[in-house]
Structures are given as C-alpha cells and as structure tokens.
Amino acid sequence: SQQGEEDPQALSIQEGENATMNCSYKTSINNLQWYRQNSGRGLVHLILIRSNEREKHSGRLRVTLDTSKKSSSLLITASRAADTASYFCATDGVDQTGANNLFFGTGTRLTVIP
C-alpha cells in the first residue's frame, strides 16, 4: 500500500500539553500534507510540506519531514480542547492507473482533556 501510516492510532493529553503525531510512508514523495477531521465532518487541510523542505510552521502547528527516514511529524503546541479531532497525513504517489494522486493514512485520534 502507498498509504502513510500514522502513529499512534490514538492519543489522549491534558489541555496545555503538546501533542506529537508521526507519519511514515513507503515511496518517494514530492510533498506530504496534514489534514484534520472533526467528528462527523469533512477533512480540513492544515499544512503542506514539500520534499525539499525540512520544517514548516503554521500558528501552533509545526511539521517536520525527514525524507531519508520516510517520515513526518506533526506537533501541536499548547493544545486546546478544540484540537480534539482525527489527524491524517497524505502523501502523493502514482496510483494503479498511473495517475498522480494523494494517499491518506488511517489517522491519529487526538483527545484533549480540558
């Protein structure tokens, strides 16, 4: 499978703590994206990091990419109860039709306890 795999599958932390989620993938990529999904809703794009970038920030989010290890991490600092959601990584790759597409992992379920 070309899907990324998130780790851990579930994470529970106290409000104010930092949350770190990891994503590993198998094939070479041009970019890696992180998405968030609130319960019962669609996915929301958070951040895109290209293969020639090592780190990217957006507000309380920090994403790192290590192409030599084929892995990425998403750090949420000073977490809030509203950060409770599932987080997915998505990597680009070639599907069975030969087209370039995004492949999503199965997600990390983050619970932030007030």
Partner 1 sequence: DVKVTQSSRYLVKRTGEKVFLECVQDMDHENMFWYRQDPGLGLRLIYFSYDVKMKEKGDIPEGYSVSREKKERFSLILESASTNQTSMYLCASSSTGILAYSNQPQHFGDGTRLSIL
Residues at the site binding partner 1, with contacts judged by CB under 8 A = 3, 30-31, 33, 40-45, 48, 50, 88, 92-93, 95-97, 99-102, 104-107
Look at strands 10-14 and 108-113 and give their pairing.
Answer: parallel
- Provide, rounded to whole angstroms, the least separation between the CB of residue 91 and partner 1: 9
- Provide, rounded to whole angstroms, the least separation between the CB of residue 77 and partner 1: 22
- Provide, rounded to whole angstroms, the least separation between the CB of residue 87 and partner 1: 12
Peptide bond into 8 cis (omega under 30): yes
Residue type for position 103: F
Token output for 78: 């000073």
